[in-house]
Structure 1
Amino acid sequence: MSGAHGRTAVVVGGGVAGLATAGLLAADGWEVDLLEQGDALGGRAGSWEEGGFRFDTGPSWYLMPEVFDHFFALMGTSTAAELDLVRLDPGYRVFSEGHDEPIDIAADRAANVALFESVQPGGGTALEDYLDSAQTAYRLALKHFLYSSFQSRRALLAPEIVRNGARLSGLLSRSLETHVAGRFTDPRLRQVLGYPAVFLGTSPDRAPSLYHLMSWLDLADGVRYPMGGFTTLVDALARVAERAGARLHTGVPVTRIRTTGGTGKPRATGVETAGGERYDADLVVGAADLHHVETTMLPRELQTYPESWWAKRDPGPGAVLAMLGVEGELPELAHHSLFFTRDWHQNFGDVFDTRRVPEPASAYVCRPSATDPTVAPPGHENLFVLVPVPADPGLGGGGDPAVEKAADAAIAQTAAWAGVPDLAERIVVRRTVGPADFASGLNAWSGGALGPAHVLSQSAFFRAGNASRKVDSLLYAGASTIPGIGLPMCLISAELVLKRTRGDRSVRPLPAPLAGRTDAA
């Protein structure tokens, strides 16, 4: 393909990956139309307002800042120009069943080393070694894996990869849980180091220990927050995309990817919408849920990933969400608070094996009003509660008994563990969301909250690729494809689409800023 002026592209889906893809393609000289089925942009990174409260309905952790910095640099701007970031201290608070006092994870490495030492003698030294290893793994991932479409396996023979081959093999062959348990004995510390697996859509005993790199991000690099909430990130992505020339359309569901036959492989020629409109294009990018794009917009014979492929895959967890407007202050909670049950294995076993809502359940509570006065009226707090549950639309959506029961239990648990006995009585705004809402509102495969789990068989080059094998000029972006789950990964997936159009098989990020190309790649 060529990034030449006059080439046209349609991006299906207006989430973070879709917006980033539209922006990068437009900046590279493509004429781009983005089609979002909903009335607002953002996808999983949504927003909801009620009674003077404004809730982020999806992502709430800002990690891997260099990935955001690189994306905005590609677009000819900077993170500082587009977002107002603050560093959280504490990064998050951890409440553990059976322990009266929570522990705070600080904003810097030295303080966390001291914390680990205070909890477990020798834990500080162990954490130093652990974080050194995590940083090395993270740098290797950034340099050799995350910005690669794995079109050339020769990249895996880079001297640095070969030198670290035995180490990488060990990290891939044992679980994160085993890796952590060999270094730490205190269950609270093990949970702090194991919980990042949930960000990857899996559990510590299922995630390869290579993902211990995640602890570098929160324990050493720190957790940030964009003032105004994550809707400001969506706004920034839309702003830079439109500035580059992309046309962003909402309320336009796509129902079919059009193809043309002839000799050889069919080629994507555009899309059709539910309203009967046709958008012709030289390139189609499916940035919506990959299962939905493949199984509903293409005939079976043109599906690279048909239902039979998905039947053998792990959808990751679902989630019950509760957005709560609360009267009065809640200093007992940090901006981010994690609530860990004592029976860790039972909790994850319920979600991933027996597929039932855990009782009790580990949960996450975000209190952005601790940092941002714009998200709640004066004298009130904004709480976002997330309970990992099975990815099963049969559990229902907001208002269904199973969802309300899980939300009520999480509220009661938060009240008891954090020492806020009247929390439930102080709630003045409440909205709940369940797996069925993810399925109906976002076309999320199996009602999953994050995307396909990062187990070994769904990581790196084992994950769904970003190009159709059955249809030319059909590419993919988003959490369903490489490199994976999370806001930074979605930004990188957009760049991988652009690299495909340029014929760039390298593993390196593109030079910034982009210059619109008129030459064939």
Structure 2
Amino acid sequence: MKTSTTTPRSSGTAVVIGAGVAGLATSALLARDGWQVTVLEKNTDVGGRAGSLEISGFPGFRWDTGPSWYLMPEAFDHFFALFGARTSDYLDLVELTPGYRVFSGTHDAVDVPTGREEAIALFESIEPGAGAKLGNYLDSAADAYDIAIDRFLYNNFSTLGPLLHRDVLTRAGRLFSLLTRSLQKYVNSQFSSPVLRQILTYPAVFLSSRPTTTPSMYHLMSHTDLVQGVKYPIGGFTAVVDALHQLALENGVEFQLDSEVISINTASSRGNTSTTGVSFLHNREVQNLDADLVVSAGDLHHTENNLLPRELRTYPERYWSNRNPGIGAVLILLGVKGELPQLDHHNLFFSEDWTDDFAVVFDGPQLTRPHNASNSIYVSKPSTSEDGVAPAGYENLFVLIPTKASSGIGHGDAYIQSASASVETIASHAINQIATQAGIPDLTDRIVVKRTIGPADFEHRYHSWVGSALGPAHTLRQSAFLRGRNSSRKVENLFYAGATTVPGVGIPMCLISAENIIKRLHADTSAGPLPEPLPAKTTSSQKTSYDH
């Protein structure tokens, strides 16, 4: 079979599979670029994993069911600027001070501030000499962050040119060291305090990974939280989803919900195979939608192995047999009576020695542990920052417990009537842990509403590979160009966007993945973000003016 290399046309009809963040962003950019776009979403609402939940009988409570950390603000600013807009036109952001609170073992809670000098002072107060070391660490993190933005993230790796740029070549030795040395070894070589080590290595979890296998290149994440700071969009990430949805609608995108794509259709001519559209299930009837271009913003494993015939798969099952799916998760959505001053907006609960926590997530159940989940967990209390997520006199809590990526752990009860025994056990243990570590002995008695989401829900709702919560882990062999590519090698005009493909997991990465589709469509091999704004096309026949 001939490998697909032909550049797609720059306008026509397009189908985007999935209305998660990547699907919304991709559809909006395609429409602005002159495509006639239809988004097909299997669920009855938009947002995907960045969902929202309200429960009948408990008015005033609303939970985000996915992302909750607003990091890399310039990625959002740039995305909106592509449409000639500002982030403030769509989102009301507040700065969180402190950025987050850390509970480690039985030690007192540590409030982690926003700002370079404030972070240096905190580190120095905990470990003499650590302040100056953190200054150097953050300088390195800022440099790594800048080179990632300029050379790696907005890059389809279609040519070697961007990687041979002087900014990369002059840092070649250091980049090699950062890529081949683990984040844990890099941090541990400079800091001795367990809690400081945890503050600097916990971002590995944001990358669906563990500190021992995450390249130290990702110490750049400390630049985003300690220097750039942590913000919160009023309305939560539901407000972000609403903004992206509005952008798409403003640019003429059509949405069809409750419409699950069941196959990507193709036709072959003269040795080339190209997509011709999709078939989908709506109202229990199979329907077809023709298109010149298909972008799957759904799970890449599902796309390749369930929507394409075996002979047209770029990433067949054998590709996934030795890939790391990242973390699974059990989510707990709680409504609690009374105030919880012991908790801040973002809270990280760590075991003093979290080795076993990562082992249970990535290596499987441990015989000495009564539950199949981590004891290092995340708790968000958005009611700290806005009134609209809980009734007066109540708090809203979102709890994320990392687990092995295994749908066998079961469902929660947020979308079906009852949760699996494993999910219930994990949730109960986590609530007791929060009560103990944060000093809230009556927490369980004050819970007025509780719902859970398990790995099987991720698999069922989003076709998530083995129930993964975030996407494949950012190990060395699953980062940058080693993570894969965002276009099919065997089907022309078939592309991929979202957390399961390049550049990776997280809302900013999903926005970047959408932009990279536009760059690939225009054979744009530059390494950085597109010029702002993206010229708007009013008809599908207009030509773009930014190709370079």
- Do they fold alike, i.e. is TM over 0.5? yes
Alpha-carbon deviation of 1:343? 2.2
Alpha-carbon deviation of 1:355? 4.2
Q: Which amino acid aligns with 2:148?
A: A
Aligned twin of 2:223 = 216
Per-residue deviation, residues 29-52 of structure 1 (Å, max 9, x unmatched): 110001111000000000001212
- 2:359 is aligned, of 338, 341, 349, to 349
Q: Which amino acid aligns with 1:158?
A: H
- 1:264 is aligned, of 242, 247, 271, to 271
Aligned twin of 1:172 = 179
2 CA distance for matches of 1:64 and 1:472?
A: 33
Aligned twin of 2:536 = 516
- 2:309 is aligned, of 292, 299, 310, to 299
Residues 144 and 155 in structure 1, CA contact (< 8 A), matched pair in contact too: yes
Alignment of 1:326-337 (within 5 A): 326-337=336-347
TM normalised by structure 1 equals 0.98
Per-residue deviation, residues 93-120 of structure 1 (Å, max 9, x unmatched): 0001031x10001122211111100000
1 CA distance for matches of 2:421 and 2:88?
A: 44
2 CA distance for matches of 1:396 and 1:231?
A: 26
Aligned twin of 2:376 = 362
Structure 1 residues 360 and 75 mapped into 2: Cα distance closer, same or farther (>3 Å)?
closer
Structure 1 residues 503 and 411 mapped into 2: Cα distance closer, same or farther (>3 Å)?
same
Alpha-carbon deviation of 1:248? 1.6
1 CA distance for matches of 2:300 and 2:170?
A: 35
Q: Name structure 1 gaps, 5 residues minimum.
A: none
2 CA distance for matches of 1:92 and 1:147?
A: 29
Aligned twin of 2:259 = 252
Residues 8 and 492 in structure 2, CA contact (< 8 A), matched pair in contact too: no
Alignment of 1:64-143 (within 5 A): 64-99=72-107, 101-143=108-150
Q: How much is the aligned-residue C-alpha RMSD, in angstroms?
A: 1.2
Correspondence 1:424 to 2:444? yes
- 1:437 is aligned, of 452, 457, 460, to 457
2 CA distance for matches of 1:519 and 1:75?
A: 17
Find the residue that maps to 1:22 and give its secondary structure: helix
Per-residue deviation, residues 125-159 of structure 1 (Å, max 9, x unmatched): 11101000000000000000000010111211101
Per-residue deviation, residues 339-395 of structure 1 (Å, max 9, x unmatched): 000221111111101345556611100000000110000000000001000000111
TM normalised by structure 2 equals 0.93
Q: Which amino acid aligns with 1:371?
A: S
Q: Which amino acid aligns with 1:9?
A: A
2 CA distance for matches of 1:406 and 1:395?
A: 10
Moved over 4 A (4+): 1-5, 355-360
Q: Which amino acid aligns with 2:453?
A: V
Correspondence 1:472 to 2:492? yes
Residues 155 and 507 in structure 1, CA contact (< 8 A), matched pair in contact too: yes
Quote the sequence identity (%). Answer: 53
1 CA distance for matches of 2:466 and 2:258?
A: 23
Find the residue that maps to 2:153 and give its secondary structure: coil
2 CA distance for matches of 1:206 and 1:4?
A: 40
Aligned twin of 1:54 = 62
Aligned twin of 1:22 = 27
Residues 23 and 75 in structure 1, CA contact (< 8 A), matched pair in contact too: no
Find the residue that maps to 1:261 and give its secondary structure: strand
Per-residue deviation, residues 416-448 of structure 1 (Å, max 9, x unmatched): 111110001111111011111111111100100
Aligned residue pairs, count: 519
2 CA distance for matches of 1:395 and 1:354?
A: 12
Find the residue that maps to 2:174 and give its secondary structure: helix
Residues 17 and 23 in structure 2, CA contact (< 8 A), matched pair in contact too: yes
Find the residue that maps to 1:375 and give its secondary structure: coil
Q: Name structure 2 gaps, 5 residues minimum.
A: 1-6, 413-418
Alignment of 1:385-404 (within 5 A): 385-398=399-412, 399-404=419-424
Residues 347 and 358 in structure 1, CA contact (< 8 A), matched pair in contact too: no
Q: Which amino acid aligns with 2:291?
A: A
Q: Which amino acid aligns with 1:384?
A: F
Correspondence 1:156 to 2:163? yes
Residues 392 and 446 in structure 1, CA contact (< 8 A), matched pair in contact too: yes
1 CA distance for matches of 2:116 and 2:391?
A: 34
Per-residue deviation, residues 258-313 of structure 1 (Å, max 9, x unmatched): 10111122000100101321111110001001111111110000010111111110
Residues 361 and 374 in structure 2, CA contact (< 8 A), matched pair in contact too: no
Q: Which amino acid aligns with 1:414?
A: I
Find the residue that maps to 1:319 and give its secondary structure: strand
Per-residue deviation, residues 40-66 of structure 1 (Å, max 9, x unmatched): 000000000121200000000000000
